[in-house]
Amino acid sequence: MPSAATLLVILLALFVLSAFFSASEASLIALNKVRLRHLLEKGKRGARRVYGLVSRMDKLIATILVGNNLVNTAIAAIATIIFTQIFGPGAGLIIATFFITVLLVIFAELIPKILATNHPEGTAFLARHLVSFFIFILSPVSGLLAAVSNGFIRLFGGNPYHRSPLVTEEEIKMMITIGKEEGFYGESERRMLERIFHFDEIEVRDVMTPIERMTALSADMTTEEIERILQEEGHNRIPVYQGQRADVVGIIYVRDLLYLFRNSALIHLRDLMNAPYWVSPGQKVAELLREFQRRKLQIAIVRDPGSEKALGLVTLEDLMEEIVGELEDAGTRRLKK
């Protein structure tokens, strides 16, 4: 039988190994997955291996549990041998049980896990190679345990490979609030970020200019009337209607009119009109913004799907204001009054 000194050295080494397993488990579980992805994309050394470890959490946990239990069992056995040699079989077993339990909880569980949780990134990167080594040598046992546990999870209707999102919308909103409180950005930036989250929920009817407040030209207006409206309103694009304002027949570009005015040409609005782009009031503004980008448009007419009458208009500026807030244009006044 090895001497007491040899057993103590082995016992100390096993305590260190047990602490390693505990710290590795705590750090890899507490690791910020978003930051890890960021480090991976930046090409930080070791990030790919750490990302590979946390990507197979079932195998990782099985390996750490097997390794930690084997080590703790060996610690209990060696401690029992040492204490029974000193205090005898009866008292030695009781003292060993109490003494080793206290030491394991404090030095192999609490302290390593607290330190690793406080510094998860550094701990995980330091432990990555040794954890990978243990996953390799314990893979027959840990693989079997992972397969059995996954089978039971499926048996009860679960999905063992289901992963929660890296970060939820509510968590991002909380990060925005905390970031503002910590002084990382100001109130205007916070409001802009919050508007982005609500952008997908907004419909065209919420941002459009109603028809009664919409600047428009009648197809039958005289040149003098058109000039007066252009001088008063100062818009770049104006709807043209025939008869009633709800009967929009096109969009006129003011630059085309100004060119004709300068050259004293006879103006016929119908010759200059562009076909309107129609949207429904219930369309999401996020979808409309994508259409504006794809079609290279800046204005759309909101039309009632039933009556096919115009309800108002919506512009690219209206959509952008839902993100960045009120826009002021030095060259033109807004369509909304």
pTM over 0.95: no
The two beta strands, 310-315 and 299-303, are: antiparallel
* Residues contacting residue 228 through CB under 8 Å, at least 6 positions apart: none
**Alpha-helix residue ranges (DSSP H) falling in 234-295:** 254-262, 269-272, 285-295
Look up residue 35 and give its two tokens: 């930051």
Please check whether residue 309 is in contact with residue 241, taking contact to mean a CB–CB distance below 8 angstroms.
Answer: no
Average pLDDT, integer, range 298-315: 94
Considering the chain, what percentage of its residues have pLDDT values greater than 70? 89
Residue 160 has pLDDT above 70, yes or no: no
Residue 247 has pLDDT above 50, yes or no: yes
Lowest average pLDDT, out of 74-88, 197-211, 249-263, goes to 249-263
Average pLDDT over the chain, rounded to whole? Answer: 85
Residue 12 has a pLDDT of 95
| pLDDT tens by residue, 22-41 | 999 999 999 988 789 889 99
169 against 228, higher pLDDT: 228
107 against 332, higher pLDDT: 107
Which residue is it, tokens 């839902």?
A: 322
Domain ranges of the chain: 4-155, 201-324
Please check whether residue 36 is in contact with residue 51, taking contact to mean a CB–CB distance below 8 angstroms.
Answer: yes
Lowest average pLDDT, out of 123-127, 261-265, 289-293, goes to 261-265
Is 201-324 assigned to CATH 3.30.559.10?
no
Please check whether residue 49 is in contact with residue 31, taking contact to mean a CB–CB distance below 8 angstroms.
Answer: no
Residue 229 has a pLDDT of 85
Residue 264 has pLDDT above 70, yes or no: no
d(CA 318, CA 320): 6
Q: Residue 15: which pLDDT band, with cuts at 50, 70 and 90?
A: very high
Residue 336 has pLDDT above 80, yes or no: no
Residue 32 has a pLDDT of 84
Residue 314 parent element (H or E): strand 310-315
Q: Which residue type is seen at 97?
A: T
DSSP letter for 300, please.
E
Average pLDDT, integer, range 307-318: 93
| pLDDT tens by residue, 172-215 | 677 777 777 777 777 777 777 778 878 888 999 999 999 999 99
Please check whether residue 66 is in contact with residue 18, taking contact to mean a CB–CB distance below 8 angstroms.
Answer: no
Please check whether residue 296 is in contact with residue 323, taking contact to mean a CB–CB distance below 8 angstroms.
Answer: no
Considering the chain, what percentage of its residues have pLDDT values greater than 90? 50
d(CA 194, CA 13): 52
Residue 11 has pLDDT above 90, yes or no: yes
Look up residue 178 and give its two tokens: 């905390």
Average pLDDT, integer, range 116-125: 95
Environment class of 164 (CB within 10 Å of its CB; exposed 0-12, middle 13-18, buried 19+): exposed
